[in-house]
Structure 1
Amino acid sequence: MSQQLDFTVGALLDDVAARFPDHEALVYVERGLRYSYREFNERCREVAKGLLALGIKKGDHLSIWAYNVPEWVVLQFATAKIGAVLVTVNTNYKSAELEYILKQSDSNTLFLVQSFKDTDYVATLNEVVPELAASTPGALKSAKLPFLKNVVFLGEGERPGMLGFEKLVQLGKTVPDAALAEVEASLDKHDVINMQYTSGTTGFPKGVMLTHFNVVNNGFNIGECMRFTEKDRLCIPVPFFHCFGCVLGVMACVTHGSTMVPVEVFDPLKVLTAIEQERCTAVHGVPTMFIAELEHPEFSRFDLSSLRTGIMAGSNCPIEVMRRVIRDMHASEITIAYGQTESSPVITQTRTDDPIELKVATVGRVLPNVELKIVDIETGAALPPGKQGELCTRGYLVMKGYYKMPDETAKAIDAEGWLHTGDLAVMDENGYCKITGRIKNMIIRGGENIYPREIEEFLYTHPKISDVQVYGVPDRKWGEQVMAAVVLKKGVELDEEEVREFCRGKIANYKIPRYVRFVESYPMTASGKIQKFKLREMAIRELQLAGEGA
């Protein structure tokens, strides 16, 4: 058993800043911004006092809608120092989704940037809250969002009805240090301080409530699996609004006094530049990010020899990509992590010295101080190694619950405290787990249970196939049919019949894809998870299967 940390998020930063005051905490290559841990802690304290001056209290909900700007990381700690709950809003959301999150979360404050990709955030917010432009900053009265009082703009210049971020910092100068200390002393490590909305693969997004204890300890154990110390420097190109950024990235660093080197918006060239310039020892990403870096035309001109480790997560990694990350990026100790937001988020992780076979075939073994079991889907009985069932976990990492959704919480966490992930898995005798599919993704064709992952693994062996996603589509006769969306390797051709011919005699006939379509890419969540439900919806439209039942 490794140690457990009893800090709140704010106290953790105080502790690290006292131990490594002059060590670099946060570096933004493009901005030329560098904070030592002492400076970073001071900045977080200034903003925390600004929030107090604004009237924010312990337990209040504050939303942030922004890509990886410096204010994001500062707010992660500033809000935690006063016990406010930071609600992270997906950067890809549009007006209806923004309205849903702000309303469902009861947020009284929203922090936002001007825009992201094709969305003007300020215009979008004004559409949702038409009263904003004419209101006095801090005194917003919205008909649709009665809780929302403050909007704080992250960026240069003024915006109607909004308070500028630097004005907030100025407000904090009126608050004595003793007032902040008093609030910090009143906090409990089991208080909720973070709320993330699950990538609604089914139904409406649910607000996952995470505590200081959840994220501090998960971050610590993630860092331990990578053997982080204060000498490590992590390039973080994954979004902060998702656990991959704010826990596997930020908390894994801060718990070890390591240096954070964020990339504001993913761009393979910027990642390679940051790694080289800052001599990063670690980098995070989903497989598609690593592929984009490796395939960048200028890849070979970068010196990545400082790299050692990092995390690849979000979806399974083809072995060829893993080989290149280890060989060409020098990340010989790269790790694979698996989990979900509800487990804050990592449940299992490979270790730095695991062989490559375990890094591509499994998602590692359970983190320290965490319990894991595989259970029979029908009976709930624990299964022995080698048997497929649902992966369940218990321990410090399990969320407090879904915000204002007690029934959904009860479905996810049973009476004995086990979180049911909804993922199908097999564990070997050494505790290494292989994720074999989602219970919900299971295809039932003529009474036969078909696990898409099994067919995907088989189709990966085809020399012309780069990537494949298998899912069920409705069928009047069989209930469901198997469909495969295939990404081909560059410069090759393949047709539907060749794919089916490749399967014949090698996998059961009922598993052979009835439909095959060739695609350039897949619809994804911002955290890099492929959205099979969208592939299914597209197929139903294209193949006109809407009247086929299921």
Structure 2
Amino acid sequence: MLDGFVPWPSEFAERYRRAGYWKGVSLRQLLTDRAGRHPDKIAAVDATRRVTYAELAEEADRVASGLLDLGVSSRDRVVVHLPNRIDFLTTVLALFGIGAIPVMALPGHRRDEILHLARSSDAVAYVGPDRFQGFDFRQLAREVRRDAPGMKHVVIAGEADGFTPLAELAGSAARELPPVDSSEVALLLLSGGTTGVPKLIPRTHDDYAYNISACARVVDFDDSGVYLAANPVPHNAALGCPGALGAVLLGGKAVLAANPSPDHVFPLIEQEGVTLTTLVPALALLWAEAARSTPVDMSRVTIQVGSSKFGPAAAARVSESLGCRLMNVYGIGEGLITHTRRDDPPEVVFGTEGRPVCPDDEIRIVDTEDNDVAPGETGELLTRGPYTIRGYFAAPDHNRRSFTADGFYRTGDLARMTEDGNVVIEGRLKDIIHHLGEKVSAEEVEGHVLTHPLVRDTAVVGVPDDELDERLCVFVVLTADADTERTPVTLRTIREHIRGRGLASYKLPDELIVVSDLPRTPVGKIDKKALKAARP
């Protein structure tokens, strides 16, 4: 086993194999099987090319052979810093094929984040683009290699400028690849917190293949499905839930969007026959607003919405405006995924995060002393199961804080369970604001503010205040037609609106700031630390 990886205890591993969750097949072998069944079918599409299953498998094999020629081998870590392009898929599948481990960097990461990933994973190589969205990744690679002594190789997609061209690896003579143990670590995802540097999440071939198949089963995605990766594909939701990677491993088609703007993706949805995509709430609301002036046929599309709380009013607005099927999702890179189902009534789809995708997902909701709370009460969500990790990679101190002695992962999310077994996420343990002597959930207030017809997006933060403990400061992004309304959006009108929804007086905001957009972390979560720093 890879040093720094915390495996499942043997009795759990045996149970998951007996239940058929872990099938003993590597992720790369799944592609080989698909390519053998329908070699001429289109597997993936990006802004510049389309590839069949045979072409995708062959290119991945050649890149794998080129990596072996460079000296990259089984269990070596490689930082993959590529945007939504077919190159991303072939590189990741090539690494799977030799048992090397991609570290899933996001396109928005820069020197500090990549250096942290390189050092914490002890990466031997970096794969990135030459330029993307005006940024030169080759200079970043030079700086990271200088300060990360273990990084021996830099591979660049495009003009390599002295580094190894990815095209050169793709031109290598294919050779027989070594066998890969499906119980080994396949990839390192990044934790999605909004503070501090990301932790590395080790996912094995066995557990991630099940992650993909379980999510696909819930949304009825099979070899006839077309997945649109609108968000960055290295992120877990767009990668394997079932995501772009799942699309090609299941025999469907992956459409890799260069950016998520409605102007770019709306034509793709109709041209490529998209059936499934995954959005963060802010992007879903942006698409819904754009659809009012740019008609798009989404009658065949299912949208999974996750990453942060998506309240009932916002969900209903998106569903009605886009004419799509909406499914609410709670998912963490560490494992657990809960999902509403296709036949759920609107009150479940719009008002809960659904049920676990696996029968052996174990969930506890506990108080501050780790005692189980009564049904329907709110507490911290703990979980363990066949695709939930038992520890972060090479992070013993974090693991002592993040996992119970019997292996439950502490999500840090506040949740409650409904009578019919659906999970409702109520906020974050660390996103509680102390206001007028009471504890206020920022996500609860945000959900009410979002029901205002002129508010497209919002974030609530606590600001230190000598008299109030913390001030409730609400940032809002207004809809495009807000300027034409006779009644402007002010602190008074926001307070009146949410007071009218029955919110307690101590939860009413003290301050309103209108902004053009909300800053986000690379994984799409609102960056509240940046909001507080930018507050006038």
TM-score over 0.5 (shorter chain) = yes
**1:233–1:280 Cα contact (<8 Å) kept:** yes
Residue 4 of structure 2 is matched in structure 1 by: none
Secondary structure of the residue aligned to 2:59 is: helix
Give, in angstroms, the shift of residue 327 of structure 1.
Answer: 4.8
Residue 328 of structure 2 is matched in structure 1 by: 336
Secondary structure of the residue aligned to 1:205 is: coil
Give, in angstroms, the shift of residue 290 of structure 1.
Answer: 3.0
- Which of 382, 387, 401 is the equivalent residue of 1:392? 382
Give, in angstroms, the shift of residue 421 of structure 1.
Answer: 0.4
Alignment of 1:24-173 (within 5 A): 24-28=42-46, 30-35=47-52, 37-129=53-145, 142=146, 144-155=147-158, 157-160=159-162, 162-171=163-172, 173=173
Residue 138 of structure 1 is matched in structure 2 by: none
Question: AA paired with 1:405?
Answer: A
**Structure 1 residue 410 corresponds to structure 2 residue 400:** yes
Alignment of 1:290-369 (within 5 A): 290-296=284-290, 300=294, 302-305=296-299, 307-317=300-310, 319=312, 322-323=315-316, 325-327=318-320, 329-332=322-325, 334-343=326-335, 346-369=336-359
Give, in angstroms, the shift of residue 321 of structure 1.
Answer: 5.4
Give, in angstroms, the shift of residue 502 of structure 1.
Answer: 4.5
Q: Given the superposition, is the C-alpha separation of residues 279 and 497 from structure 1 closer, same or farther in structure 2, using an over 3 Å criterion?
A: closer
* 1:207-227 deviation digits (Å, cap 9, x = unpaired): 222211222111111111111
**1:67–1:265 Cα contact (<8 Å) kept:** no
Q: Given the superposition, is the C-alpha separation of residues 461 and 241 from structure 1 closer, same or farther in structure 2, using an over 3 Å criterion?
A: closer
* 1:47-71 deviation digits (Å, cap 9, x = unpaired): 1122111111111010111211211
**2:362–2:385 Cα contact (<8 Å) kept:** no
**Structure 1 residue 507 corresponds to structure 2 residue 503:** yes
Over the aligned positions, Cα root-mean-square deviation in angstroms equals: 2.5
Distance in 1 (alpha carbons) for counterparts of 2:74 and 2:65: 13
**Structure 1 residue 533 corresponds to structure 2 residue 529:** yes
**1:234–1:310 Cα contact (<8 Å) kept:** no
**1:209–1:400 Cα contact (<8 Å) kept:** no
Q: Given the superposition, is the C-alpha separation of residues 165 and 461 from structure 1 closer, same or farther in structure 2, using an over 3 Å criterion?
A: closer
**Structure 1 residue 12 corresponds to structure 2 residue 30:** yes
Q: Given the superposition, is the C-alpha separation of residues 325 and 538 from structure 1 closer, same or farther in structure 2, using an over 3 Å criterion?
A: closer
Distance in 1 (alpha carbons) for counterparts of 2:157 and 2:435: 51
| Structure 2: unaligned runs, 5 residues or longer | 1-15
**1:216–1:251 Cα contact (<8 Å) kept:** no
Q: Given the superposition, is the C-alpha separation of residues 510 and 324 from structure 1 closer, same or farther in structure 2, using an over 3 Å criterion?
A: closer
Question: AA paired with 1:331?
Answer: C
Q: Given the superposition, is the C-alpha separation of residues 419 and 352 from structure 1 closer, same or farther in structure 2, using an over 3 Å criterion?
A: same
**1:17–1:38 Cα contact (<8 Å) kept:** yes
TM-score using structure 1 length: 0.86
| Structure 1: unaligned runs, 5 residues or longer | 130-141, 543-550
**2:390–2:403 Cα contact (<8 Å) kept:** no
* 1:414-467 deviation digits (Å, cap 9, x = unpaired): 221111100001110111111111000112235422212222233334444333
Residue 272 of structure 2 is matched in structure 1 by: 278
Residue 137 of structure 1 is matched in structure 2 by: none
Distance in 2 (alpha carbons) for counterparts of 1:128 and 1:17: 37
Distance in 2 (alpha carbons) for counterparts of 1:158 and 1:365: 47
Q: Given the superposition, is the C-alpha separation of residues 514 and 298 from structure 1 closer, same or farther in structure 2, using an over 3 Å criterion?
A: closer
- Which of 238, 241, 247 is the equivalent residue of 1:245? 238
Question: AA paired with 1:94?
Answer: R
Question: AA paired with 1:246?
Answer: L
